[in-house]
Structure 1
Amino acid sequence: MTGAERAVVVHPDADTLARATAARFLLALADAQSLRHPVHVAITGGTIGTQVLAEIGRSDLLGVVDFTGVHVWWIDERFVPTGDPDRNEGQAGEALLARLPIPEENVHRMPSSEEAKDVEAAARAYAEQLARFAPEGALAPELDLVLLGMGPDGHIASLFPGQGTVSITDRAVIGVHDSPKPPPERISLTLPVLNNTRQTWIVVSGAAKAEPVRRALEGADPDDLPVAAAAGRDVTLWLVDAEAAGQG
């Protein structure tokens, strides 16, 4: 694919989707490392997102990437104590990060409720961390790859329908106080960071997601369906299973 392109790749089931996305992820990082150093990626949680991370850790292609030159960022996080099973970083650590030879300083976890006085302070702290790696005048480093999941309501990260958060452009990170999905307090990257990426991949599985996938691809209003606003500068790739594609 060349230029700013969008493609939809359909896999027969969630397990195949996770394995194929894991292989694609590692090859994309290897390609990026042939051109740039370091590379920056942002990862997600959720069922299929965590399954992809686990498959990355098991992939025969793991050795093609120099993980000492990879920086890992989180797309969003639940504002709960360290070690809480709701935290995305715990799931990612167990599924993948504990298996990688990646320097601890390259793993950029969002603050927990024990590390920041409130969710707004946590968002500011993470924004400051992003800014340290950003070019002059930018909110955050340019990401080589963003690995997004999508909720049944079409939310991405912790940007939910009808809350106006997709229109926030003056901050890299926001505190979310009223997530419709528990826990209510979260930290989330904003669209200016999520879309400042060479490649955006939206990984979706399950029949419950088929309708929002269809609506997003048809150009839904992002305030009603935040995933419709997700776009990479070079490539936007929808990686879905047959059920999410409406073929189940």
Structure 2
Amino acid sequence: MTRDVVVHPDAHVLAAAAAARLLTTLVDAQSHRAPVHVVLTGGTVGIATLAQVAASPVREAVDWSQVHLWWGDERFVPDGDADRNETQARAALLDALGDALPAQNVHAVPALSDAVPTPEASAAAYADALGRYADDGALVPAFDVLLLGMGPDGHVASLFPGHEALGTHGVATVGVHGSPKPPPLRVSLTFEAIRSAREVWVVAAGAEKSAAVASALSAAPVTTTPAAGATGTSRTLWLVDVAAAADLPASP
């Protein structure tokens, strides 16, 4: 497994470059296999990246009928709520793709409803959906790219420093209670699921992220900087802007 760090001038260029990289990776992957599986993230830069994908003419080179979209985590709120990563992703990209992306290829985390009253119920249903596309014995599909944002505290998905969800093993998903960042109820992929991805990309921008970026890349404990544990089986890629890279040691 290789780990690379790519520094971009600012958050706007970072989002545009991440979008171009994602589109190129999808086209390349589709020359080898189908379908391909991508895990989306929320957050300012994550959603900006999806908007840049929507704006790029290169999106026409992707066979979206052979792309399955998942989420690394979700806020456990009702369907259509503005806080949902899915809601934001639809506005940024999915709606623009229209019929090119079949509805059955979009795998949203079940929202709060009478039928799904708890994060645990949502997590179990999402784990079942993931398992239906997984190879024998695996918890999740072989994700081609798994995108993650990172908070100033070093959290990824909804796996927060010191939170009990960090230690969840043997399952693909976990219900999260007491998130230090609102809303308090969430559903997240576990580290076991995240680490099964071929490529994990951590996308971070802003000076408030610089300490966490440096901590994660210095192999800090996952309990204090969860992003340190976000790794892919073939590649781990950190896409950051100059401000987020400010605390990294200078390159030789």
Check whether TM > 0.5.
yes
Contact 2:39 2:145 in 1 (8 A): yes
Partner of 2:144, secondary structure, is strand
Structure 1 residue 247: deviation in Å?
7.3
Assess, with a 3 A threshold, how the Cα gap between structure 1 residues 247 and 215 changes in structure 2: closer, same or farther. Answer: closer
Match of 2:52 in 1: 55
With normalisation by structure 1, the TM-score equals 0.97
Structure 1 residue 216: deviation in Å?
0.7
Residues in 1 aligned to 2:166 and 2:37: alpha-carbon distance in whole angstroms = 22
Query: 1:52-89 CA deviation, whole Å, 9 max, x = no partner?
Result: 01001001211121000000001100111111111110
Partner of 1:40, secondary structure, is strand
Match of 1:191 in 2: 191
Q: Within 5 Å, which residues of 2 pair with 1:36-55?
A: 36-55=33-52
Contact 2:165 2:176 in 1 (8 A): no
Structure 1 residue 166: deviation in Å?
2.5
RMSD over aligned Cα atoms = 1.2
Match of 1:102 in 2: 101
Partner of 1:237, secondary structure, is strand
Q: Structure 2 unaligned runs (5+)? A: none
Match of 2:171 in 1: 171
With normalisation by structure 2, the TM-score equals 0.95
Match of 2:152 in 1: 152
Match of 1:129 in 2: 129
Residues in 2 aligned to 1:167 and 1:25: alpha-carbon distance in whole angstroms = 30
Structure 1 residue 163: deviation in Å?
1.0
Runs of 4+ aligned residues of structure 1 deviating over 2 Å after TM superposition are: 164-167
Contact 1:14 1:48 in 2 (8 A): yes
Contact 1:161 1:223 in 2 (8 A): yes
Contact 1:76 1:157 in 2 (8 A): yes
Letter in 2 for 1:55: Q
Contact 1:44 1:88 in 2 (8 A): yes
Match of 1:229 in 2: 229
Match of 1:220 in 2: 220
Query: 1:76-114 CA deviation, whole Å, 9 max, x = no partner?
Result: 001111111111100000000111110000000001111
Match of 1:10 in 2: 7
Aligned length: 245
Partner of 2:201, secondary structure, is strand
Contact 1:119 1:187 in 2 (8 A): yes
Stretch moving more, 123-132 or 57-66: 57-66
Query: 1:117-153 CA deviation, whole Å, 9 max, x = no partner?
Result: 2111111000000010111111111100001100010
Structure 1 residue 167: deviation in Å?
2.6
Match of 1:28 in 2: 25
Residues in 1 aligned to 2:235 and 2:119: alpha-carbon distance in whole angstroms = 32
Residues in 2 aligned to 1:7 and 1:167: alpha-carbon distance in whole angstroms = 26
Residues in 2 aligned to 1:42 and 1:57: alpha-carbon distance in whole angstroms = 16
Residues in 2 aligned to 1:247 and 1:13: alpha-carbon distance in whole angstroms = 15
Residues in 2 aligned to 1:24 and 1:166: alpha-carbon distance in whole angstroms = 29
Residues in 2 aligned to 1:67 and 1:123: alpha-carbon distance in whole angstroms = 26
Are 1:201 and 2:201 counterparts?
yes
Query: 1:212-245 CA deviation, whole Å, 9 max, x = no partner?
Result: 0001111100011100001111111100000000
Structure 1 residue 165: deviation in Å?
2.3
Letter in 2 for 1:107: V
